[in-house]
Amino acid sequence: MADSIPLVLVQGPVTVSEAVSDFLRHCRARGLSRSTVTLNEGVLSRLIEQAGELRLEHLSQKHLQSFLLQVSKGRKPSTVQRYYNALRAFGKHLRSLGYPDPAEGLPRPKAPKPVVEPLAQQEVEAMVAACPDTPLGRRDRLVLLLLVDCGLRASELAALRLDDVDTSERVLLVRCGKGGKPRRVPFGQTVAEALEDWLAVRGNVEAPQLIVNCYGQGVDRYRIGHIVRQAAERAGIRRRVGPHRLRHTCAISYLRAGGDVFTLQRILGHADLTMTRRYTEVADTDVQEKHRLYSPADRLSVPSKTRKRVL
């Protein structure tokens, strides 16, 4: 009789600590951005400190409420909301493994919606004009124009490769979008000219990235942020300016010029219209202010009070 083959059972996570490790592996396997994985890891490592050895079936909503209450002390509401989002994602993962979701029905912490304040056109023009006429100055000019014309995230621009740029069609292929979703983003004539100026001085470096440093090496998103802040400083802009503010500026300028929210959603790479609608609210406010200034009826030479009808 042949030797029997022992049956090996694959056991899933049992404790909260084991489940967190499994969840983080799942996040990496899904191709989530490094910042998202790092954020989830930071949040859930604090949860492990409180309930790491607790068995999953004993992890309840009360545990998570207590955890949120503790981490909310001394932190901004927006930070607490990020903690909440990480817990919801973790709970969803537990549900996929067949465990109860302790985050289901967990009340969302209240946080005021951040006000989206774009840069004025004059401020963007001043930043672009402040870039010196040097090889790196041409690079910085291109960085600013790509951010404000295409609404790219800093990480997307840093990862952009030379062969992702179609100069004939004036389209960028963004391979490393949020959630690993690629998209095609058009660019205008001004960017095309800045791109030509940069490529003329970029040289034949080994790095495949479009944006490189003075050593011919690709840059990361932090360097992109430094380029933007330096340009704002040179232009004399005192408020905080980063790549994401230029992304906001792109979105609102696009809507002000008559663009529609559905096309904007595809350009920015939003998964849904939630964020895009916030830009629309700002654009709607602009419409109200403009109408108050240029109301056609208010510019007529008619009495301010309604006349009585003559029967």
The residues carrying an active-site annotation are 153, 178, 244, 247, 270, 279
Q: 19 Cβ partners below 8 Å, 6+ apart?
A: 13, 56, 90, 93, 94, 97, 99
Sequence letter at residue 154? A
Hey, what are 300's tokens? 């007529």
User: Using CA atoms, how far apart are residues 146 and 250, in angstroms rounded to an integer?
Assistant: 10
Nearest Cα neighbor of 270 from 285, 284, 254 is 254
Q: What 3-state DSSP class applies to 173?
A: strand
Written as six digits, the tokens of 305 are 């009070």
Name the nearest CA neighbour of 227 among 118, 140, 136, 128. 140
Helix (H, G, I), strand (E, B) or coil at 34: helix
Closest CA to 255 of 239, 271, 241, 267: 267
Cβ proximity of 210 and 160 under 8 Å: yes
Q: Which residues of 56-70 are buried (b: 16+ CB within 10 A; e: fewer)?
A: beebebebbeebbee
* Distance, CA of 169 to CA of 146 (rounded, Å): 16
